[in-house]
C-alpha cells in the first residue's frame, strides 16, 4: 500500500495542496503507486500526513479531473488505466539507470566556457545571516501587490491574449514605447522605436554585440578591475583586450586606448569599484572616439537603481551618442530573476542584432514583456523606484557609518551613492581567506581579486553589497566582519 512508505516533509512557504499534488504525481510517473490497489482513503492519508481531510480530497478530485486517477464508488481512488502501461513503467525505470555508453564529449568541444574564470558566489546566499552580496535584492522590497495587479489585468477575461503568440523576432511594441518615453529620457536618451532592442539582461546584450562585431582582429579596451563576465564574452570571440587601470575618475585613457576599436566602460558607477567617471574624463573620451573613429560600449547596468540625485546623463546622450552602444537592465531594481534588459543603438545595428537574436531565442517571453509594459504604463515602476531609491540611500548611509566605525583600517574606494562598497584592506590581509573565515560566522562578502586581470592580482580588496541585507542588520554584520578581521 502507498501509505506504508509515502512520506512528505511540507515546506511552510508553499501551499499544502500544491505539495501533495506534486508528490502524488511524482509517485504516479515513477510507478510507485500499484495499478490494482486503491490509494489511501482521504481520512487515512490526512492522518498520516497531519493535514486536513478536505485538503487530500481536493487533491484527489483534481487528479481525477485531470485524468491521472479514477474514482470508484464505495471503493476509493485508483490509478487511471493510462498509467497501467508496464512498458512505460519499465522505460521509466530504465531511464533512471546510469548511462554506460556515453560519448567522450571533451573530445568534441570546440571551446571550454567552463575554463573561463567567473565571479564565485554561493547559490545559497540567502541562508547567511549577513549577506553582503552584490547583485541580489531583499525580496521584501519587491512590489508584489502591484505586480499581481498587473498580472490580473493582463490575464483578464475580456482582454486579447497577444502574449500567447510568437512575435517572431519583434518585441512588444508597448514595452518599447514605455522604454522610449518613460525610461530612457531619464538618462537623457531620446531614441526611436527601431533603435531599441529588448534583451535577456545586459549580459545578453554584451553577448549579442560581441557575436556580431568582434573577431580575432578586434581590439577592445576594458576596465581593470572590471566586469569579469564581459571580459569572458570578449575572450570567447577571440578579441584582443587591453586592460586599462581605473582611478578616481574612471577608466584611464592613454595611447593603448587610442588604438582600440571599442571601449567597454561603466561610467555611471564603475563595476566593481562604484567610481563615477568625471566630467573631464568623459570629455576626453568623447573627443577621443570622435577623433579616432571608435565605438563605446556603455554598460549602464545600475541606471534604474542609481539614487544619486545629481547623477550625470548617459554617454549615449552626448554629442557623440551615435558612436555609443547603450545597454541597461530592467532586472536590477525589481528582481535579478526577471532577466530583462534593453539595448539602444543605430537602427542599422539593431536590425542585425535582432536577426542574430532570432537565431538564438527569437525574443524574450511575450508575457513577461507585456506584464512589464503594463507595470510601467500604470506608474507602478516609477512609484517603486522612488521608494527603492530612498531605501537604498538609507542602507548606503548605514553601511558607510558602520564601515567608518568598525573597519577604520579599510579604505573606501569609489564614489558616493554607488550600489556597492569597494574596500581596500591593509596589504597583509588576504580577503579570500577573510571571506572564508567570515562565512563561518554567517557573514558573506566577495573577495576582490576576481575582478582584476593581472596574472598576480592584488589580494586585499573586497566588494560589499547592501541590496540583499535588511537595513537594521548592516551594522551588526559589519561589526562581526571586523571581529573576524581581528
State the sign of the Cα–Cα–Cα–Cα dihedral 312, 380, 363, 120.
positive
Contact between 340 and 329 (Cβ < 8 Å): yes
Mean pLDDT for all residues in the chain: 90
Cβ neighbours of residue 386 under 8 Å, at least 6 residues apart? Answer: none
d(CA 327, CA 119): 21
- Please write the tens of the pLDDT for every residue from 390-432: 999 999 999 999 999 999 999 998 777 788 999 999 999 999 9
Q: Say yes or no to pLDDT of 128 above 80.
A: yes
What is the pairing mode between strands 262-265 and 250-251? unpaired
Task: List the one residue out of 159, 196, 465 whose CA is nearest residue 330.
Answer: 196
H or E stretch at 88: helix 86-95
Residue 255, all three cell numbers: 595611447
H or E stretch at 70: strand 69-72
Would you state the pLDDT for residue 135? 86
Contact between 132 and 121 (Cβ < 8 Å): no
Distance of CA 371 to the CA centre of its chain: 18
Residue 482 to residues 2, 228, 250, 259, 477: CA-CA distances in angstroms? 54, 28, 29, 45, 9
Residue 97, all three cell numbers: 539507470
Contact between 25 and 55 (Cβ < 8 Å): no
Task: List the one residue out of 195, 170, 191, 171 whose CA is nearest residue 181.
Answer: 191
d(CA 282, CA 266): 11
In the predicted model, what is the mean pLDDT of residues 457-464?
96
The DSSP annotation for 424-445 comes to E--TT--HHHHHHHHHHTTEE-
d(CA 339, CA 330): 8
Residue 220, beta-bridge partner list: 241, 262
Contact between 355 and 211 (Cβ < 8 Å): no
Contact between 459 and 430 (Cβ < 8 Å): yes
Q: Say yes or no to pLDDT of 133 above 60.
A: yes
Q: Say yes or no to pLDDT of 93 above 60.
A: no
Contact between 213 and 262 (Cβ < 8 Å): yes
What is the pairing mode between strands 130-131 and 76-79? unpaired
- Please write the tens of the pLDDT for every residue from 139-186: 888 999 999 999 888 887 666 677 677 778 899 999 999 999 999 999
Would you state the pLDDT for residue 3? 54
Q: What angle do CA 386, 387, 393 make, to 5 degrees?
A: 90
Residue 130, beta-bridge partner list: 443
H or E stretch at 416: none
d(CA 54, CA 298): 57
- Please write the tens of the pLDDT for every residue from 343-362: 999 999 999 999 999 999 99
3-state secondary structure of 411: strand
Band of pLDDT at residue 94, cut at 50, 70 and 90 = low
State the sign of the Cα–Cα–Cα–Cα dihedral 15, 20, 23, 25.
negative
d(CA 464, CA 446): 6
Q: What share of the chain is helix, strand, coil (3-state, %, to 5)?
A: 45, 15, 40
Amino acid at each position: 500500500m502507498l501509505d506504508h512508505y509515502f512520506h512528505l516533509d511540507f515546506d511552510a512557504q508553499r501551499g499544502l495542496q500544491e505539495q501533495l499534488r506534486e508528490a502524488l504525481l511524482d509517485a504516479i510517473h515513477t510507478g510507485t503507486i500499484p495499478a490494482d490497489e486503491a490509494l489511501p482513503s482521504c481520512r487515512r492519508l490526512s492522518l498520516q500526513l497531519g493535514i486536513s481531510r478536505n485538503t487530500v480530497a481536493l487533491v484527489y478530485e483534481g487528479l481525477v479531473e485531470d485524468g491521472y486517477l479514477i474514482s470508484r464508488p464505495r471503493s476509493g481512488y485508483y490509478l487511471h488505466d493510462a498509467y497501467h502501461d508496464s512498458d512505460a513503467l519499465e522505460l521509466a525505470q530504465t531511464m533512471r539507470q546510469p548511462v554506460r555508453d556515453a560519448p567522450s564529449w571533451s573530445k568534441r568541444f570546440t571551446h571550454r566556457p567552463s575554463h573561463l574564470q567567473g565571479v564565485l558566489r554561493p547559490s545559497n546566499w540567502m541562508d547567511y545571516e549577513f549577506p553582503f552580496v552584490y547583485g541580489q535584492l531583499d525580496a521584501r522590497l519587491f512590489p508584489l501587490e502591484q505586480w499581481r495587479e498587473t498580472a490580473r489585468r493582463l490575464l483578464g477575461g475580456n482582454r486579447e491574449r497577444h502574449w500567447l503568440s510568437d512575435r517572431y523576432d519583434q518585441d512588444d511594441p508597448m514595452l518599447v514605447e514605455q522604454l522610449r518615453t518613460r525610461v530612457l529620457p531619464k538618462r537623457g536618451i531620446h531614441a526611436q522605436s527601431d533603435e531599441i532592442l529588448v534583451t535577456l539582461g545586459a549580459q545578453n546584450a554584451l553577448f549579442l554585440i560581441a557575436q556580431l562585431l568582434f573577431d580575432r582582429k578586434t581590439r577592445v579596451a576594458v576596465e581593470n578591475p572590471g566586469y569579469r563576465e564581459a571580459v569572458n564574452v570578449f575572450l570567447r570571440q577571440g578579441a584582443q583586450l587591453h586592460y586599462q587601470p581605473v582611478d578616481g575618475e574612471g577608466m584611464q585613457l592613454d595611447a593603448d586606448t587610442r588604438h582600440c576599436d571599442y571601449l567597454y566602460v561603466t561610467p555611471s558607477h564603475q563595476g566593481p569599484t562604484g567610481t563615477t567617471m568625471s566630467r573631464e574624463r568623459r570629455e576626453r573620451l568623447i573627443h577621443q572616439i570622435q577623433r579616432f573613429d571608435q565605438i563605446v560600449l556603455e554598460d549602464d547596468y545600475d541606471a534604474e537603481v542609481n539614487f544619486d540625485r545629481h547623477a550625470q546623463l548617459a554617454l549615449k546622450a552626448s554629442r557623440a551618442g551615435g558612436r555609443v552602444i547603450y545597454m541597461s537592465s530592467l532586472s536590477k531594481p525589481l528582481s535579478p530573476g526577471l532577466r530583462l534588459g534593453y539595448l539602444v543603438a543605430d537602427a542599422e545595428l539593431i536590425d542585425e542584432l535582432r536577426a542574430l537574436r532570432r537565431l538564438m531565442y527569437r525574443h524574450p517571453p511575450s508575457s513577461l514583456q507585456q506584464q512589464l509594459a503594463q507595470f510601467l504604463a500604470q506608474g507602478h515602476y516609477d512609484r517603486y523606484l522612488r521608494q527603492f531609491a530612498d531605501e537604498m540611500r538609507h542602507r548606503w548611509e548605514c553601511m558607510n557609518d558602520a564601515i567608518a566605525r568598525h573597519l577604520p583600517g579599510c579604505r573606501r574606494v569609489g564614489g558616493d551613492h554607488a550600489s556597492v562598497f569597494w574596500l581596500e584592506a591593509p596589504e597583509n590581509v588576504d580577503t579570500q581567506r577573510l571571506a572564508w573565515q567570515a562565512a563561518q560566522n554567517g557573514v558573506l562578502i566577495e573577495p576582490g581579486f576576481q575582478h582584476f586581470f593581472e596574472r598576480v592580482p592584488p589580494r586585499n580588496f573586497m566588494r560589499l553589497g547592501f541590496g540583499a541585507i535588511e537595513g537594521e542588520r548592516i551594522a551588526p554584520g559589519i561589526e562581526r566582519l571586523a571581529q573576524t578581521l581581528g
